[in-house]
Amino acid sequence: MRRLKKGFCFIVVLSAAFVLQACGNKGEKYVEQYIKEGKYNEVHILVNEFDIEKTGKMGDLIADVDNYNDVVSLLHGQSSENDLEEAKRQILGFNGSYKKYSSFEEDVEELENRIVELENHRNEIEEIIQKIQDSYDSGNYESMGKVITEYKENEMLVADTSMEQSERLEQLIIQYESYQKKESEEGAVDFQPEWVGGV
């Protein structure tokens, strides 16, 4: 009887292990499917749902997905200068597992290109800020207004402006608008049209 119980327990344990292994394999297939479909944000849900171990090749793949998601989140919206520097550091942290999936490899390359583009735009914005500052310092408000207008019309540059750059630009724009308001008020005082008509 005791041997029968031991045998039965062994079969139950073996069955449970088989079921868990089958669920794990199914989960891994879903992970690969989600990666092929570009659903990187949803991979961690599968990992938790199927209790997928982050070891071996699957662990490396999940690490690359996590790294991709981290870099994307650093560049999402109006990022700071520190976010860009961190993204540049983290983009080097891939272990190469993503290269087995052509669409994932393309997305990583696009992310690398986006970082380069963003850095170039930020450098261009620095030059614009310097031009505005130089115009302000020299009292050339006409030039200042022209550069501000050109900047505001460039939607791509406006979108890629860092939080720190936005703060500096906002201060300069406030100075320019203050000058405009003052000019407008002085012009209104000076303007005294002759009364036309008669009694």
Under 8 Å between Cβ of 61 and 31: yes
pLDDT in tens, the chain (199 residues): 555 444 443 333 333 333 334 444 678 999 999 999 999 999 989 999 999 989 999 999 999 999 999 999 999 888 999 999 999 999 999 999 999 999 999 999 999 999 999 999 999 999 999 999 999 999 999 999 999 999 999 999 999 999 999 999 999 999 999 999 988 887 654 444 443 444 3
- 3-state secondary structure (DSSP) of residue 162: coil
Domain chopping of the chain, boundaries:
35-184
Q: Record the pTM.
A: 0.78
Q: From residue 86, how far is each of 12, 80, 82, 93, 195 by CA, in Å?
A: 49, 10, 6, 11, 67
Q: From residue 83, how far is each of 56, 80, 119, 120, 156 by CA, in Å?
A: 30, 5, 11, 15, 18
